[in-house]
Structure 1
Amino acid sequence: IGLGVIKNVTLKSGEVNGLKISEGKLAGFIRIRDSGKAELTAIGKFVNSKFFHHLRNSLILATLTVFLTLLFVVPAAYAFSRLKFFGREHILYFYLMFTQVAGGLGIAGLIALYGMLVKLGLYNKLPALAIIYAAGSVPFNTWLLKSYIDSISPDFDEAALVDGASYLQIIRYVLLPMALPGIATVAVMSFIGGWTEFILASLLLTEENQPLSVWIYTLMGGIGRGIDWNYFAAAALLFALPVFIMFMLAQNYIRSGLTVGGLKE
């Protein structure tokens, strides 16, 4: 990238080419050109920017989305796959319909959603937005995990019931270990949804609480403003890194989950 020569500069407070800095924070990231002009290095721009602040917001949003999604999807998928109850088929078809039209309903209802959150005092709240993300991902992911649980023999459940296990114990000790591949897939899908969503985050959050997906968009500049493509590309690459890590973690769980299980005759 060409960071140049980093001088040992004792820097307190002030500005470097219009960029505000804090006392002693960027002393190691100042580059002095041959012309005597001082500027921040590429790393210095990241240290001085709000990248890590918005990264924290994105991690909070995505983590809460995954937690809330799994909290509802796992028991719901088990119930739809194993239990017979009134209205089961109708609810499943409603879930299927919702997965097809949710995007259109979301766009049409943005104003209503905004007004509702403002009235309830939930505007600009990260947990409130995470609940909305989870609500949108539950129908599709319930279908996804239900299909995987359908492939697991019900003999395991029956054997656990004979041994005196409750339904919650079956989910915890029988279903979760054997359904790890499906659960890992749901976790990755919901994480990506919470990590990359843009429209709701830009509408329902102020600048201070906006995630990386919105902050990176602001780096594109505007009329009369140039774009630092090196800075923008670095931010975009780091934005994609957590998704890559999630896939790697899920890959390990999938391999281990496929080897778990066994039925005692």
Structure 2
Amino acid sequence: MDKVKKHRRKMSTKERIKDILAYIGIYAVLIVTAIAILYPVVWVIGASFNQGSSLASATAIPSHPTLNNYKRLFAETDYERWYLNTLAIAVVNMVVSVVLVGTMGYVFARLKFAGKKVGLLTILILQMFPSFMGMIAIYVLFLNFGLLNQPLALVLIYSAGQIPYNTWLIKGYLKNVSKSMDEAAMIDGASKLQIYTKIILPLMFPILTFVAITQFMAPWFDYILPSFLISSTHKKTLAIGLYDLINSQTNKNFTMFAAGAVLVAVPITILYLFLQRYLIEGLSAGANKE
């Protein structure tokens, strides 16, 4: 009996050591990953407060911080105009996308109709092709419809381009919502529209929040499509305007560029903080809601 107890103690000690080493390994990986992600962000923020225009001499913690880069950004460029243009595109894109994919996700998840499987397969195949593959066709199409150099063109592309992925996302989310609620509402005389607006839509709020945030973020970081479709100076988006600050050998406004990049993160961060709880619920959409 004593030998058995000693063996069990040894085993438990080994297991504890293994658990401790596992925790150390996990936290080490998390710390290294956090440093790798946060250091560039901290460095860019610090560079925006550095004196001069070169990033070579910039430091993460400036010795003599200054707001001069932010002042020059608004005084010497049309940054405010670029910011408002991008914000308007982002908000409209977010609203249009939520309405479109929310409706389509409900239709494919709840309703039965001819061609449903073909439609799902079609939008799945469309998702495999990136939007820039059709840029020439998009350019010709928008040229014929007079949509070149129009912010509306970007909204159409952003909102339509993510319909396949977001539709499948919402459809998968609604699969975990019991259909008994729909049936009970129909017995009470509710129409399909009333079921969607009064029952399903409130339950979809977490996943629609996730869609809203991702669609809101898209225009802030995209350079290819705006540079391809927008040519007027007063209609530029932030990505085009900021890139022009460092685009040539004579333009060396790198610290001003860093200041503009920091301000880009402000609306996204605010939106994320306010909707963080719903965003997490949307990301963990596999939970059963029956």
Q: Fold match, TM over 0.5? A: yes
Matching residue of 1:215: 241
Matching residue of 1:45: 72
Q: Which moved more, 1:107-116 or 1:235-244?
A: 107-116
Q: Which moved more, 1:225-234 or 1:120-129?
A: 225-234
The within-5 A match list for 1:6-155 is 41-48=68-75, 49-101=77-129, 103=130, 106-155=131-180
CA contact (8 A) 2:245 2:254 kept: no
Shift of 1:132: 1.5
Residue identity in the other structure for 1:170: I
Q: Which moved more, 1:47-56 or 1:247-256?
A: 247-256
User: In the aligned structure 2, how far is the partner of 1:183 from the partner of 1:153?
Assistant: 18
- Listed as ranges, the gaps of 5+ residues in structure 1 are 4-39
Judging changes above 3 Å, is the alpha-carbon distance between structure 1 residues 142 and 256 closer, same or farther for their aligned structure 2 residues? closer
Matching residue of 2:186: 161
Q: Which moved more, 1:154-163 or 1:140-149?
A: 154-163
**Structure 2 length as normaliser, TM-score?**
0.70
CA contact (8 A) 2:245 2:257 kept: yes
Identity of aligned residues (%): 32
Q: For each residue in 1:158-185, what CA deviation from the matched residue of structure 2 results, as whole angstroms up to 9, or x when unmatched?
A: 1211221111111111112111111111
Residue identity in the other structure for 2:201: L
Higher Rg of the two aligned structures: 2
Residue identity in the other structure for 1:107: F
Higher relative contact order (CA 8 A, sep 6+): 2
User: In the aligned structure 2, how far is the partner of 1:180 from the partner of 1:100?
Assistant: 27
Give the 3-state SS of the residue equivalent to 1:121 in structure 2: coil
User: In the aligned structure 2, how far is the partner of 1:194 from the partner of 1:156?
Assistant: 37
- Listed as ranges, the gaps of 5+ residues in structure 2 are 1-48, 52-66
Give the 3-state SS of the residue equivalent to 2:172 in structure 1: helix
Matching residue of 2:218: 193
CA contact (8 A) 1:64 1:127 kept: no
User: In the aligned structure 2, how far is the partner of 1:221 from the partner of 1:89?
Assistant: 48
Residue identity in the other structure for 2:110: R
CA contact (8 A) 1:144 1:186 kept: no
Q: For each residue in 1:75-95, what CA deviation from the matched residue of structure 2 results, as whole angstroms up to 9, or x when unmatched?
A: 110111111111111111111
Shift of 1:254: 4.8
User: In the aligned structure 2, how far is the partner of 1:169 from the partner of 1:124?
Assistant: 40
Give the 3-state SS of the residue equivalent to 1:97 in structure 2: helix
* Higher percent of residues as helix: 2
User: In the aligned structure 2, how far is the partner of 1:2 from the partner of 1:147?
Assistant: 48
User: In the aligned structure 2, how far is the partner of 1:249 from the partner of 1:92?
Assistant: 33
* Higher percent of residues as strand: 1
Give the 3-state SS of the residue equivalent to 1:164 in structure 2: coil
Residue identity in the other structure for 1:42: N
